[in-house]
Amino acid sequence: MNAMTDRLRALPSVDSLLREPIAADLLTAYGREATVNALRVTLDQWRDRLRAGEVLASGADAILNHATDSLRADFTPTLRPVINATGVIIHTNLGRAPLSQAAQRAIVEAGGQYSTLEFDLETGKRGSRLIHAERLLQQLTGAEAALVVNNNAAALVLLLSALALGREVVISRGQLVEIGGGFRVPEVMEQSGAKLVEVGTTNRTRLSDFERAITPQTALFMRAHASNFKQIGFVEQPDLADLARLAHDHNLAVVDDLGSGALLDTAPYGLEHEPTVQESLAAGVDLIAVSGDKLLGGPQSGLLLGKQALIDRLKRHPLARAVRADKLCLAALTATLEHYRRGEALTHIPIWQMIARPLESIRAQAESWQAQVGGAVIDGVSAVGGGSLPGETLPTALLALDLPAPDSVLARLRANHLPVIARIADDRLLFDPRTVLPGQEAELLRAIQAVIA
Ligand SMILES: *Cc1c(COP(=O)(O)O)cnc(C)c1O
């Protein structure tokens, strides 16, 4: 009993801890309030533990070390960079598309300075933020007009609210999909005040199904790209050009929720063909909605492309203000689109570099990792991800490590100061060079070496 009271009395005070040299570093790094608070909380914990009879080091060093750890943990941001060694290129949980160098610079420039966001340099008067990406999108896709909003979900809500409020939107039953994260096409349609008219069956919908569904209340035909699943076997959907013709014969518009928004063909890389924006426009679609951070490889955004008269109605709708894109997004998007205009998307946009990367180059990198950390190089597959090209994979070479308790190794890799996200198959840890960004390779190998040691 006495020994415990002695230990409690011997605990340093907050003031004496603050006079220790390490405390100066803590004050600089975390500020006075947080530092003092962490020391108090640590001292409280020490008192409780001593009273509970625990025998523990109670000097200034032990307490400062504990307070340092808890401050560091507390101040670590929850949104932080990670190394993606999963081989999933557009990994929605890991932030989808990493931006090109030019797009990153554009964000820094637009964010750190005043800009021409809504200012016309010629007249010296108010300008429009809508012009920045619009001209480029028109040039690249041939669309009459374009509008950039916060994301594709917002694009859909805006277009349905503006064009189909209280009216009917005809869509195939096979396309009433859930995109992920609980985002369901039918629910978005209902929320927007449009009345959903489902036609066809789960696996087959014909043009005549759309034709029979037309009433005086019909506003739109809608197609939604079944981005994250694939129907095979006895399936049928009407040709988009035929659907557009039927709609136009009845003075209706066709909207296409294309999802991934490819501007380039994926087929040359051994992938199935992903429908492109240009193809939908060529088929006669009136309005397309796509994500900017899927196969476009840009920042989170929703792009609406199509007929001028329809885009004008969307721009005038009150919701347009609520879902508008911010300046950082517009800066990064414009820089990303410039890569397409210059014909350098494959060499400058990270997700396209990853898609187009030759297998031999990936194998060589996996072999160099193996030379440094051991393990084996095995054949495997990378995925495009992000709800594009479901089930489609790219052949890759993986570093495979056979370590005891692979799940706990995976957890330790996630605890690295630059967390490493990898996967396990057949009890082996797998690392895919395809999605590891060049600047992160050294840290990946350091982290692997640390968990092996
Ligand atoms: C991804 C996707 C969406 C949602 O896009 P966000 O940009 O994530 O809001 C909508 N429709 C389809 C078909 C998609 O693939």
**Mind listing the pLDDT tens digit for each residue in 6-24?**
889 999 999 999 999 999 9
Tell me, what CATH number does 318's domain have?
A: 3.40.640.10
- Residues near 97 by beta carbon (within 8 Å), at least 6 away in sequence: 90, 293, 294, 296, 297, 298, 299, 349, 350, 351, 386
Strand partners, 195: 168
| Per-residue pLDDT tens digits for 290-299 | 999 999 999 9
Measured in Å, residue 125 CA sits from the centre of ligand 1 at 36
Residues 366 and 439 reside in one and the same domain: yes
Q: Are residues 128 and 255 in the same domain?
A: yes
pLDDT surpassing 60 at residue 1: no
Question: Tokens for 267?
Answer: 């087929």
| 200 exposure class (CB count in 10 Å sphere: 0-12, 13-18, 19+) | buried
Same structural domain for residues 65 and 132?
Answer: no
The model's pLDDT over 79-116, given as tens digits with 9 standing for 90+, comes to 999 999 999 999 999 999 999 999 999 999 999 999 99
Distances (CA, A) of 224 to 98, 117, 156, 179, 322: 25, 32, 10, 10, 24
Nearest protein Cα to ligand 1, atom 5 = 152
Angstrom distance (rounded) from CA 431 to CA 402: 12
Task: With cut-offs at 50, 70 and 90, classify the pLDDT of residue 326.
Answer: very high
Q: Compute the mean pLDDT over every residue in the chain, rounded to the nearest whole number.
A: 94
- Kindly state whether residues 58 and 201 are assigned to the same domain: no
Question: Do both 329 and 436 map to the same domain?
Answer: no
Does residue 129 carry a pLDDT above 90?
Answer: yes
Q: Which helix (H) or strand (E) holds 253?
A: strand 253-259
Please report, as a single letter, which amino acid is at residue 200.
Answer: G
CA distances from 326 to 110, 299, 300, 387 (A): 10, 11, 10, 24
Question: Are 94 and 82 a contacting pair, CB within 8 Å?
Answer: yes
CB-based contact 319:162 (threshold 8 Å):
yes
CB of 150 shorter than 6 A to ligand 1: no
CA distance 242 to 71: 63
Q: Are residues 20 and 132 in the same domain?
A: no
What is the CATH number for 379?
Answer: 3.90.1150.180
Please indicate, yes or no, whether residues 310 and 445 belong to a single structural domain of this protein. Answer: no
Residue nearest to atom 13 of ligand 1 (CA): 259
Burial of 132 (0-12, 13-18, 19+ CB in 10 A): buried
Final residue before a domain boundary, out of 344, 374, 407? 344
Compute, in angstroms, the gap from residue 259 CA to the centroid of ligand 1.
Answer: 5
Ligand 1 center–CA 265 separation, angstroms: 19
Tell whether ligand 1 has an atom less than 6 A from the beta carbon of residue 158. no
The CA distance from 23 to 32, in Å, is 10
Alpha carbon 342 to chain centroid, angstroms: 25
| Ligand 1 atom nearest to 156, measured from its CA | 10
Q: Which helix (H) or strand (E) holds 424?
A: strand 423-425
**Is there an atom of ligand 1 within 6 Å of 301 CB?**
no
Same domain for 152 and 228, yes or no, is: yes
Same domain assignment for residues 258 and 278: yes
Percent pLDDT > 70 in the chain is 98
**Ligand 1 near 298 CB (within 6 A):** no
Q: Looking at the structure, tell me whether residues 209 and 127 fall in a common domain.
A: yes
Residue 291 host element (H or E): strand 287-291
Task: For 73-94, give one letter per residue: b (16+ CB within 10 A) or e.
Answer: eeeeeeeeebbbbbbbbbbbeb
Q: Give the DSSP H or E segment for 89.
A: strand 88-90
| 227 in contact with ligand 1, CB cutoff 6 A | yes
In the prediction, which pLDDT does 416 show?
A: 96
Ligand 1 neighbourhood includes 225 CB (under 6 angstroms) = yes
Q: Output the pLDDT for position 250.
A: 97
Is there a single domain that holds both residue 63 and residue 137? Answer: no
**What dihedral do alpha carbons 83, 86, 90, 96 form, nearest 10°?**
-30
Residue 148: CB within 6 Å of ligand 1? no
> How much distance in Å is there from the Cα of 186 to the middle of ligand 1?
13
291 CA to middle of ligand 1, Å?
6
pLDDT digits (tens, 9 = 90+) for 367-410: 999 999 999 999 999 999 876 677 789 999 999 999 999 999 99
**Residue whose CB lies within 8 A of the most ligand 1 atoms, among 172, 179, 280, 288, for a mutation test:** 179
- Residue ranges making up the domain that contains 109: 99-344
Whose C-alpha lies nearest to ligand 1, atom 11?
259
Render pLDDT for 164-179 as a digit per residue (tens, 0 to 9): 999 999 999 988 877 6
Number of folded domains that form the chain: 3
Whether 224 is in the pocket of ligand 1, judged by its Cβ within 6 Å, is: yes
Is the beta carbon of 257 within 6 A of some atom in ligand 1?
yes
List the single range of 252-261, 278-287, 384-393, 433-442 with lowest mean pLDDT.
384-393
- Asked whether residue 271 falls in the same domain as residue 316, the answer is yes
Using pLDDT thresholds of 50, 70 and 90, give the confidence band for residue 314. very high
Q: What is the average per-residue pLDDT within 235-258?
A: 94
Indicate the pLDDT class of residue 270, thresholds 50, 70 and 90.
confident
Question: Of 344, 361, 378, which closes a domain?
Answer: 344
Predicted TM-score (pTM) of the model is 0.93
- In short, whether 350's Cβ falls inside 6 Å of ligand 1 is no
99: left (phi over 0), alpha (psi -120 to 50) or beta: beta
User: Which residue has the CA at smallest separation from atom 10 of ligand 1?
Assistant: 259
Distance (Å) from CA 146 to ligand 1 centroid: 17
Half-sphere exposure at residue 340, Cβ-oriented, CA atoms within 13 angstroms: 20
Closest ligand 1 atom, residue 387 Cα:
15
State which of 344, 364, 389 marks the end of a domain.
Answer: 344
